[in-house]
Amino acid sequence: MNEKETIKTSKFLSLVLRHEQERVGLNLDTAGWVGVDELLQAVNRRGVTLTLDQLKHVVSTSDKKRFAFSEDGQRIRANQGHSVEVDLQYPPQTPPEFLYHGTATRFLPGIRENGLQRMERHDVHLSAETKITFQVGGRHGKPVLLIIRAGDMHRAGHVFRRSANGVWLVNHVPREFIDYSQTESQTPDNQPDIP
Residues near ligand HQG (CB under 6 A) are 14, 64, 66, 81, 103-104, 107, 110-111, 114, 116-117, 119-121, 125, 136, 140, 167
Residue 19 CB, nearest distance to ligand HQG (Å)? 10
Which is closer to ligand HQG, CB of 44 or CB of 181?
A: 181
Residues 174/139, Cβ–Cβ less than 8 Å: no
Which is closer to ligand HQG, CB of 25 or CB of 110?
A: 110
Residue 172 CB, nearest distance to ligand HQG (Å)? 9
Residue 130 CB, nearest distance to ligand HQG (Å)? 13
Residue 92 CB, nearest distance to ligand HQG (Å)? 19
**CA-based radius of gyration for the chain:** 18
Which is closer to ligand HQG, CB of 41 or CB of 180?
A: 180
Taking alpha carbons only, the member of 93, 90, 155 closest to residue 122 is 90
Compute the C-alpha angle 58/128/194, nearest 5°. 130
Which is closer to ligand HQG, CB of 93 or CB of 117?
A: 117
Residue 106 CB, nearest distance to ligand HQG (Å)? 8
Residue 179 carries which side chain, given as an amino acid letter?
Answer: D
Residue 163 CB, nearest distance to ligand HQG (Å)? 9
Strands 160-162 and 99-104, sheet pairing: unpaired
Cβ-in-10-Å burial (0-12, 13-18, 19+) of 157 comes to: exposed
Dihedral of CA 30/36/41/42: which sign? positive
Give start and end residues of each alpha helix (H) in the chain: 3-14, 36-45, 52-61, 108-114, 131-138, 150-155
Which is closer to ligand HQG, CB of 41 or CB of 69?
A: 69
Which is closer to ligand HQG, CB of 41 or CB of 183?
A: 183
